[in-house]
Amino acid sequence: MREVVLSTGGSILLYDTSGPYTDENLRTDVRAGLPKLRAPWTAERAARAGDGAPTQLGYARRGEITTEMEFIALREGVSAQTVREEVAAGRAVIPANVNHPEIEPMVIGEAFLVKVNANIGNSAVSSSIEHEVEKMVWATRWGADTIMDLSTGKDIHQTREWILRNSPVPVGTVPIYQALEKVGGRPEDLTWEVYRDTVIEQCEQGVDYMTVHAGVRADYVPLTARRKTGIVSRGGSILAAWCMAHRRENFLYERFGELTEILRAYDVTYSLGDGLRPGSIYDANDRAQLAELETLGELGRLARDMDVQVMIEGPGHVPMHKIKENVALQKRLCDDAPFYTLGPLTTDIAPGYDHITSAIGAAMIGWYGTAMLCYVTPKEHLGLPDLEDVKQGMIAYKIAAHAADLAKGHPGAQAWDDALSDARFEFRWEDQFNLALDPATARAYHDETLPAAPAKQAHFCSMCGPHFCSMKITHEIRSRHGEDAEPVAV
Amino acid sequence: MREVVLSTGGSILLYDTSGPYTDENLRTDVRAGLPKLRAPWTAERAARAGDGAPTQLGYARRGEITTEMEFIALREGVSAQTVREEVAAGRAVIPANVNHPEIEPMVIGEAFLVKVNANIGNSAVSSSIEHEVEKMVWATRWGADTIMDLSTGKDIHQTREWILRNSPVPVGTVPIYQALEKVGGRPEDLTWEVYRDTVIEQCEQGVDYMTVHAGVRADYVPLTARRKTGIVSRGGSILAAWCMAHRRENFLYERFGELTEILRAYDVTYSLGDGLRPGSIYDANDRAQLAELETLGELGRLARDMDVQVMIEGPGHVPMHKIKENVALQKRLCDDAPFYTLGPLTTDIAPGYDHITSAIGAAMIGWYGTAMLCYVTPKEHLGLPDLEDVKQGMIAYKIAAHAADLAKGHPGAQAWDDALSDARFEFRWEDQFNLALDPATARAYHDETLPAAPAKQAHFCSMCGPHFCSMKITHEIRSRHGEDAEPVAV
C-alpha cells in the first residue's frame, strides 16, 4: 500500500503495485533480482507436503488459508476467509508459481478490485532485454497488477528470466510463441512434445499464468470464414493453421489433461485464451467466438477438478450494447471463472487512440463483472508501444478499472474520489496533485497557465479566473449564510 | 459531407463539420467572414411572414419543412419529414439564429447522430481574439458540431463577433458571463435589465443557443449545503449568490416568459443550464440536482408552448451505475427534450486525463439517449485548453459519440467501422490511415517502427512481425482451404 499524506494532517492508503522500486528505503539491483518474499512460505508448505504440495485452489478447497491469502486480504481490505472462499469456488485466482518467490501476491476475481494487465515483450522487429525489464518496472509504477511477456523474437528465454527475477507482480506468457520459434516459425511443424517441453521450461522459470488456446477446436475454424477480420489472435491463428494443415483436432485440446498435470505441479494458473475473439465491431459476439467460449467453460471445469486455477480470456472488439451479453454468457458458460478481457474496443475508427476506444469498453465490462482488464496502448494495430505508450495505456486502464470499482460499489473505492474532491473544493492544490493518478502531469497542466508558487494557494484556477470561480462563490455563500442555511422565503 | 476515396476504387461519405475551411476549392478570409449560406432562406421566409416569421419549431408544428430541415436530412441520411417530426415533438432542435446565416444547419436530437460541442473562450487570465477564432476553426476541423464561446475577460463582444462571422457551426453562449462583466463582477449587482440587454445584444449578433440558469431557484440553494463540492457551475453559483444576497427568487425564473419572447424573435434555442449539477462522484444524482431538473422540465414546456426550441443541460460527475437513471429522469421530467451533457466524468481521481474519465461516461450517456456531448479536455479542473488540448478533447468525444451511434444502431454508423476493418484485414495501410479519425497520428505511429515505404504494402505490422501476424495466417488458411471450407473431420 502507498500512503498519501495530506496537508490537513490526514492521509489515505492507496493500493500499490510497484513493489520495492518506489520504496525509498530499499535498493534494488537488476542483476540480483528482487528479494524472495514468498520463498519461506512455499518452503514451509513443501516441507509439510513434499513435492505434492497443493495449489492455492487445493488449499482453499480444504479450508486452509495460505500466507498468500492473508497478504491479499490486507491489500484488498477484506477478510482472508473471503479470499479463500472465492478461490475455492473458482471465482478468483491467485497466480503465483511456486518458482516465482519475488512477487507480492494478488488476487483476480469479481469480488475484488478490478485489475489491469500490461503486455510487454519484444518482437522480431525491435526491442532489447534491458528495455523490456525497464518497461515492466515502468508498467508496475503506473499500476500494472500483472504483466504479460509476449516476446516473439530471439532471446525469449533470457528476456523472461530477467523479467521474472525483477517483477513484483505475477507474469503471464503465451508458450506457443516460444514453441513456434523452436520449430522455425512454421505452425505445421508444431508438436505436443515441443509445446510440452516449452511449458515445463517456463514453469521452471516461474511464469505465474499461461495463455493456452485449447479452445480453438478444428471444427470452429470454418466458422471464421465469413468474418470481416478472420482470426486476430496470434495463438488462435497458429493453432488454426496447425489444425488445417494436419486436418486434425487441436493438440492442446486433446492433451489438456496432461498439460493440466504439469501446471498443477507448479501452481501455474490457466488463462484460457480466446483464439477466436472478434477483431472488429462487425464480428463481435459471433458463432465462432461463442462456440469457443463454451469449450473454454468445459476445459475450465476439467482444470479446476484437478485443482488448477483458471481464468477465461475475452474480447477484443465489442460495441457497447453487446458487452453486457458477452459477460453474461461468459459467466454462465464458464461457471463464474474470472474473466480477463482485452479492452474491448467499442469502435474501430480511431487507430492511434485505441487506449480510449477500449477504455470505454473496459470500464463497462469491469462494472459488469470482468476481473482483470488487459490494457491497450495508443499504438495498438500500428506498432510496438514505447515507454510513453505504456504509461498512456496504463493510465487509461487504471481509470477504467477504478470507474468500474466505483460502479460495483467496491468497499473503499470511493474514499479516493472523496479525498480528491475535498481537496479540490478546499483549494488544496498540492493535495489534489498528490492524490491524482498522475501527479506530475496534473501539476504541470496547472502550472502552464498559473506557474507562480502563490497560485498553489490560490482560491481559483486559470480556467475561470477569480471572478467566475463557482467554488469560491459557494464558499462565500456558505460563510455568509452557514452550511445549514434554511430555504430563503421568496 | 467528406468523401474518403479508397484504393479499391470505392469511397465512403463521412459527416463533416469543418465547413469551407477544409474545401480545397474555396478561399476563406477571416476578416470577410464565411459565405452567408442561409441568408436567402431566411430572407425568403421573412418576405412571406414579415417580422413575425415562425421559429423552426413553429414551422415544424404547422407541418412545413424548412430549407434547414432539408439540408439536415441530407447530412443525416434521413427524410426531411423525420427531421420535421422530431423538431415538432420537441425531441430535437435546430439551433439557427436568423442572424447567423453563415452556419451549415444541423440537428440535435436522440433520433440523429450524437453531436459534440467544444467549449472555447478566453478568461481574465489569458488568450486573445485571434487565438479564439483559431481554436473554433481547429475544433470544427476535429469534428465539433457546435462551439460555445465562454469568454469571460475583456473584449467579449468583439471576440464573439469574430467567432460568429467565421463559424460554420452553431455558436452557444452563457449570457450571464457578459452581464456580470457589465456590473463589475459583483453578482449582487446583476439586474434583469442588464441581463435582458445582454441577451438582445447577443441575439442581434447571431448567437444560436444560450445557456440560461433559470432553474436555480432560491429554494434549491440550501440543498447544496452538505455537498462535497457545492455548486460547480459558474452560472449557477452567480445566480445562487444573487438569490442569497437579495433573499429573492432567481430573476431568470421570474422573467422567463419575457426572456422567451426575445429568444423567439431570433429563433434562438434555449439550453436550460444545470446550475446545480454535481461536481464530484459523491454529489451525483442528489436532491439539489433533481429538484432543478424538475424545474427545467417545467420551463421547457413553457418555452415550447411559445414555439421556442429547448435543450436541457446535464452533469457533470456521475459514476457509471447512476448514468442510466440520470437519463431516464431527464426524459421523464423534461418530456424527451434533447439532453446535452458535460461528460459525465466517471471518477474524480485523474485530473490531467478527464477527457478519458469523461469519454467513458459520455459514450454511455450517448448510448442511453443524450443528443449532444459537451467535450472535456485534458486541462479540465487545471487550466485553459490550448490547441493540442482542444484536439485531444475532440477526438476523445468523437470516439464517444460514434461508439454511442453504433450502440444505438444508428443507420449507417457501422459502415465506417466496417470500411476500416476491411482495410485492416486486407493490409490496405493507406486506406486505414485515411479512414482513421486522426489520419496523421495513425500514419506517424505506424512509421515510428516501420518507416520505409514498402511497409505500407507489407502484409504485417511491427506489433507481431511477419511470422506472427494472425491476419496473414488467416489469409493463408483461406487461400488454401477456401472461404467456405467445411468443418474438418476429426
Per-residue model confidence as pLDDT tens digits over A312-353: 999 999 999 999 999 999 999 999 999 999 999 999 999 999
Sign, Cα dihedral of A326, A327, A330, A331:
negative
Contact residues, B window 192-221, toward A, CB-based 8 Å cutoff: 218-219, 221
Question: Average pLDDT, whole number, for chain A?
Answer: 92
What global pTM score does this model have? 0.95
Q: What is the pLDDT of residue B454?
A: 66
* B234 reaches A (C-beta below 8 A): yes
Interface of B with A in 80-109 (CB under 8 A): none
Average pLDDT of A177-187?
94
Model confidence pLDDT, tens digit, residues B426-452: 999 999 999 999 999 999 999 887 766
What average pLDDT does the segment A292-296 reach?
98
How near does any CA of chain B get to the CA of A41, in Å? 36
> A357: distance to nearest CA of chain B, Å?
6
CB contact (8 A) between residue B383 and residue A230: no
Residue extents of the structural domains in chain A: 2-92, 109-408, 427-481
CATH for A109-408 (3.20.20.540, 3.40.50.300, 3.10.129.10, 1.10.1740.10)? 3.20.20.540
Note whether B346 contacts A: Cβ–Cβ < 8 A.
Answer: yes
Place of cell 458487452: A323
Cβ <8 Å between B421 and A124 = no
Cross-chain CB nearest to A320 (options B403, B445, B467): B403
pLDDT tens sequence across A460-487: 666 666 666 787 778 877 776 655 444 4
pLDDT digits (tens, 9 = 90+) for B324-382: 999 999 999 999 999 999 999 999 999 999 999 999 999 999 999 999 999 999 999 99
Asked if residue B410 belongs to a known ligand binding site, the reply is: no
Residues of chain A contacting B346 with CB distance shorter than 8 Å: 363, 399, 403, 406-407
Q: What is the ipTM of this complex?
A: 0.94
Residues of chain B numbered 118-147 and touching chain A (CB < 8 Å): 123-126
In sequence order, which residues have a C-beta less than 8 Å from that of residue A472 and are 6 or more positions away? A459, A460, A466
pLDDT at residue B374, rounded to an integer: 98
pLDDT interval class at A189 (50, 70, 90): very high
Residues of B in contact with A436 (CB under 8 A): 349-352
Answer with the residue of higher pLDDT: B481 or A393: A393
The answer, for A453 touching chain B at a CB cutoff of 8 Å, is: no
Q: Least CB-CB distance to B417: which of A221, A241, A347? A: A347
DSSP state of A459: S
Confidence band for B488, pLDDT divided at 50, 70 and 90: very low
* Bridge partners (DSSP) listed for residue A12: A4
Q: What is the pLDDT of residues B4-48, one digit of tens each?
A: 999 999 999 999 999 988 777 777 777 788 999 999 999 999 998
Nearest chain A residue to B425, by CA: A229
Kindly report the number of other CB atoms within 10 A of residue B8's CB atom.
Answer: 12
Q: Is A131 annotated as a binding residue?
A: no
Ranking A106-115, A365-374, A376-385, B271-280 by mean pLDDT, the lowest is A376-385
Task: Report pLDDT digits (tens) over B124-173.
Answer: 555 677 888 899 999 999 999 999 999 877 788 998 999 999 999 999 99
A235 a known binding residue?
yes
Q: How far apart are CA A466 and CA B241, in angstroms?
A: 15
Contact B280 A364 (CB under 8 A): no
Q: Identify which of B230, B350, B404 has the shortest CB distance to residue A425.
A: B230
Q: What is the pLDDT of residue A464?
A: 65
Testing the interface with B: which of A114, A252, A349, A424 to mutate, by most B Cβ within 10 A? A349
Overall average pLDDT of the A299-321 stretch:
97
- Residue closest to B97 by CA, chosen among B209, B243, B191, B232: B209
